[in-house]
Structure 1
Amino acid sequence: MRILRYAAFSDDPAGGNPAGVVLDAGTLSDAEMQAVAADVGYAETAFLTERRGPATYRVRYFSPLAEVPFCGHATVGTAVALADRDGPGALTFVTNVGAVPVTVDDRRRATLTSVGARVADLAADDLTALLAALRWQAADLDPALPPRVAYAGAFHPVIAAGTRQRLADLDYDVPALKALMQAREWTTIQLVWRETTDRFEVRNPFPVGGLYEDPATGAAAAALGGYLRAEGLVPDGTVVHVAQGGARITVTLTPGEDGVRVSGTAVPIPG
């Protein structure tokens, strides 16, 4: 078994969101995959456990604490790792939530298409508990972007800050937020600030995965795209730019597709 490391959504190995990648995980048990992910220590490590046909692979994702149903940045990292080995082209990843098509070009840029996106109301009691855990007030929210729970392979509450400063001041109650997320099966909290109609800065608390913050989250970006479309905030065909720290994620809402396209580069991390 060889553990590769890729930085996703960045051209800099020191930037973006690092992912572990194991291309030959067919003999590993669940416990062994969990142990590897904990040892790697990144937000997620992806494991290819089986080849199911030409360019089709069974993929599972583990955070340091638990298996997660879908992970966008590790999908991008794994697709680029396969392209580095086999050449660019089209792939299919069979994940716990369904088949995810991915294409990789010759510039190490991968584009995944999520499973169908959907959006649900966030219960008033859950919003109250979530704001308390975040140490936010209702007045901190952007009234033009209502709180919702969005899904595009994993569940993410979308909470919009009214100001960039509110987004920047991330100081949450870790035990309280972790307990709420575990009870509701939320993967990360997608905190956003809208700079323009199609440009967002985001943060992603990730205590259920053992990290204070997930550095750049493709699954949450896909969920955000689904949210923007469902709420009528952007029309189909829009390309949305998502920034998280130094990472850059492109979200495309393609007419006629239930899923959301998420694109970004990935590069190997030396060592």
Structure 2
Amino acid sequence: MSEAVQRYVAFSDHPDGGNPAGVVLDAAGLSDDRMLAIAADLGYSETAFLCGTDIRYFSPLAEVPFCGHATIATAVALAERDGPGEVVLATAGGPVPVKTRRDPDGRILATLTSVPARISPIGPADLEELLASLGWGTADLDPALPPRIGYAGAWHPVIAAATRRRLAALDYDFDRLATLMAAREWTTIQLVWREAGSLFHSRNPFPPGGVVEDPATGAAAAALGAYLRDLQLVPLPATVTIHQGEDLGRPGHLVVDIRADRAEIEVTGTAVAIT
């Protein structure tokens, strides 16, 4: 690849944690086919391509409308090149402001503000097929956290496991779930277990992108924020912590800020270059 492709891990300050993403800070002149080829060659769940402030995201198999972890990685790459500050990225779903700053330890933190986020019901037939694809039964679900579909730039079913053990034992029918998700234009499945009021563990299957599981997923984290807000499952304002990637050996840490007076959700994390 002749293009300047950078490699970052998002939502971790260690290269062996979080979720890897490709970043191309100057994608001017690249065709759709070339961007897809770059993403496929990298093999990460997503690669971000920046042209000015326009940003596009490609998985190894297709373009996706929004990707949180690649946005965080892009923001940190820009901050390392230009210094911390704010940029408004133009995504397929609308503008996404991203702010970067240094914390007391010198790490660059990036906070993305999603497009207006919302939830919708999941139909009984779709839920039945989703659970069958996962190999889950209704007894595996947390009755306090009902299934919904969340949107914050992309669509993510939110499915809550009754136990940490159920979440850990993820072993699903890849082709069956991929077919359902492609038909419904879902990006990842936000599988969660609630350890405490504002502390969650998450796993995100992504078969439509050719990836068994995303280790850390900012877009789905924002969708979870909308889900918790709209179902009044946390007192507002709320700061929610999500641990993801633990079962893959790539632990990541996502912070989600939810307010009652705005439809947008904020997601914060770090990113580090892979050398």
Decide: shared fold, TM above 0.5. yes
Cα deviation, 1:186-221, whole Å, max 9, x if unaligned, reads 000000000001000000000000110011000000
| Distance in 2, Cα, partners of 1:113 & 1:35 | 29
Q: Secondary structure at the match of 2:177?
A: helix
Q: Secondary structure at the match of 1:229?
A: helix
| Distance in 1, Cα, partners of 2:227 & 2:121 | 11
**2:33 pairs with 1:31:** yes
Partner of 2:88: 92
Gaps of 5+ in 2: none
Does the 8 Å CA contact 2:155/2:185 hold for their aligned counterparts? yes
| Distance in 2, Cα, partners of 1:72 & 1:254 | 19
**2:101 pairs with 1:105:** yes
**2:256 pairs with 1:251:** yes
Instruction: Give the AA of the match of 2:254.
Output: I
| Distance in 2, Cα, partners of 1:105 & 1:267 | 14
Cα deviation, 1:239-261, whole Å, max 9, x if unaligned, reads 00000021000000134221100
Cα deviation, 1:59-79, whole Å, max 9, x if unaligned, reads 000000000000000000000
Give the number of equivalent residue pairs.
Answer: 264
Q: How far did residue 14 of structure 1 move?
A: 1.4
| Distance in 1, Cα, partners of 2:89 & 2:152 | 15
Identity within the alignment, %: 61
* 1:260 counterpart (259, 262, 265): 265
| Distance in 1, Cα, partners of 2:109 & 2:259 | 18
| Distance in 1, Cα, partners of 2:75 & 2:205 | 25
Partner of 1:223: 223
68-77 vs 100-109, which moves further? 100-109
Q: Which stretches of structure 1, 4 residues or more, deviate above 3 A after TM superposition?
A: none
Does the 8 Å CA contact 2:160/2:191 hold for their aligned counterparts? yes
Does the 8 Å CA contact 1:254/1:261 hold for their aligned counterparts? no
Does the 8 Å CA contact 1:112/1:261 hold for their aligned counterparts? yes
Cα deviation, 1:115-155, whole Å, max 9, x if unaligned, reads 00111111001000000000000100000000000101100
**2:75 pairs with 1:70:** no
Q: How far did residue 13 of structure 1 move?
A: 1.1
Instruction: Give the AA of the match of 1:257.
Output: R
| Distance in 1, Cα, partners of 2:182 & 2:112 | 27
Cα deviation, 1:25-56, whole Å, max 9, x if unaligned, reads 0110000000000001101000002x2xxxxx
Does the 8 Å CA contact 2:15/2:273 hold for their aligned counterparts? yes
Instruction: Give the AA of the match of 2:141.
Output: L
| Distance in 2, Cα, partners of 1:6 & 1:254 | 30
Does the 8 Å CA contact 2:229/2:260 hold for their aligned counterparts? no
| Distance in 2, Cα, partners of 1:146 & 1:15 | 30
| Distance in 2, Cα, partners of 1:98 & 1:8 | 22
Q: TM-score, normalised by structure 1?
A: 0.96
Say what the alpha-carbon RMSD is for the aligned residues: 0.7
Does the 8 Å CA contact 1:167/1:191 hold for their aligned counterparts? yes
| Distance in 2, Cα, partners of 1:177 & 1:208 | 8
| Distance in 2, Cα, partners of 1:82 & 1:235 | 35
Q: Secondary structure at the match of 1:38?
A: helix
| Distance in 1, Cα, partners of 2:60 & 2:259 | 34
| Distance in 2, Cα, partners of 1:250 & 1:20 | 22
| Distance in 2, Cα, partners of 1:92 & 1:80 | 14
Does the 8 Å CA contact 2:67/2:219 hold for their aligned counterparts? yes
Partner of 2:238: 238
Does the 8 Å CA contact 2:110/2:268 hold for their aligned counterparts? yes
